[in-house]
Amino acid sequence: MASETTAVIESSGGDTAVDKQPHKLYREWTFWFDNQSKPKQQGAAWGSSLRKAYTFHTVEDFWCLYDHVFRPNKLPGNADFHLFKAGIEPKWEDVECANGGKWTVISSRKETLDTMWRETLMALIGEQFDEAEEICGVVVSVRQRQDKLALWTKNAANEAVQMSIGRKWKEVLDITDKISYSFHDDSKRERSAKSRYFV
Ligand code: MGP
């Protein structure tokens, strides 16, 4: 068995069997999809169209899913894609999100939205944020009014952590416009809740 393995490795001329192992990510991630464009049953609660799509933990699976499915230009109007850490649901009600909030970036151009989404996904799965443990995930929303991205974090009250995440996200997105952070608790009370932090 050992010699067989060696043969495989040696016959591949440097492109070893070991090289062909998928590249594991630091953690598992899940893509979600919420298509709110379809007519809902009367009285259907928020989240009734939210679906868990795929959980993955390799670089190869990420690119396959991103290339074939999870690109904003494939979304109908009034729909969202989410990339969240596996085990966290993209809902205020999830225990990891319950005390959290979100940084929001508005996008006026489709191409910009696509690029910002991809850069954010790569930064998340590549663990580029110093406060990676404080992040829940990201949502891209295609809307008639304006498309947007929202980066969900866990502890809204910790201003220093949120400011650091916000600054890093702007760097990842290569933008200079001000972005704003709102608390989920405020959004629960009031639809157009005031933002609490700006960076
Ligand atoms: P939104 O989707 O965060 O705002 O919340 P958006 O995207 O600006 O609004 P849209 O009309 O463009 O989609 C919109 C509304 O959805 C909220 O006011 C809530 O009524 C409901 N809602 C949103 N989220 C994220 C949640 C959630 O996590 N839990 C519950 N229960 N309701 C939510």
For the stretch 79-95, pLDDT in tens is 999 999 999 999 999 99
Which residue's C-alpha comes closest to atom 13 of ligand 1? 78
Confidence of residue 111 (pLDDT cuts 50, 70, 90): confident
Task: Tell me how far apart the alpha carbons of residues 118 and 103 are, in angstroms, rounded to a whole number.
Answer: 17
**Residue whose C-alpha is closest to residue 138's, from 105, 110, 160, 168:** 105
d(CA 26, ligand 1 centre) in Å: 30
pLDDT at 1: 39
Q: How far is the CA of 136 from the centre of ligand 1 (A)?
A: 16
Which amino acid does the sequence have at 55?
T
Say yes or no to pLDDT of 62 above 50.
Answer: yes
pTM: 0.90
Backbone φ and ψ for 101, nearest 5 degrees, come out as -165, -165
DSSP secondary structure string for all residues of 13-55: TT--TGGGS--EEEEEEEEEEEETTSPPPTTPPTTTTEEEEEE
Q: 159 alpha carbon to ligand 1 midpoint, in Å?
A: 23
CA–CA gap between residue 25 and residue 128 (Å, rounded): 12
**Residue that wins the pLDDT comparison between 181 and 43:** 181
Q: Which fold has domain 24-37+47-86+96-198?
A: RNA Cap, Translation Initiation Factor Eif4e (3.30.760)
Centre of ligand 1 from the C-alpha of residue 19, in Å: 44
Pocket test for ligand 1, best of 96, 185, 187 (most atoms within 8 A of CB): 187
Q: Which residue among 32, 36, 46 has the greatest number of ligand 1 atoms within 8 angstroms of its CB, and so is best to mutate? A: 46
The pLDDT, as a whole number, for residue 42 is: 75
Say what the pLDDT of residue 7 is. 38
Q: What is the DSSP letter of 6?
A: H
* Closest ligand 1 atom number to CA of residue 187: 18
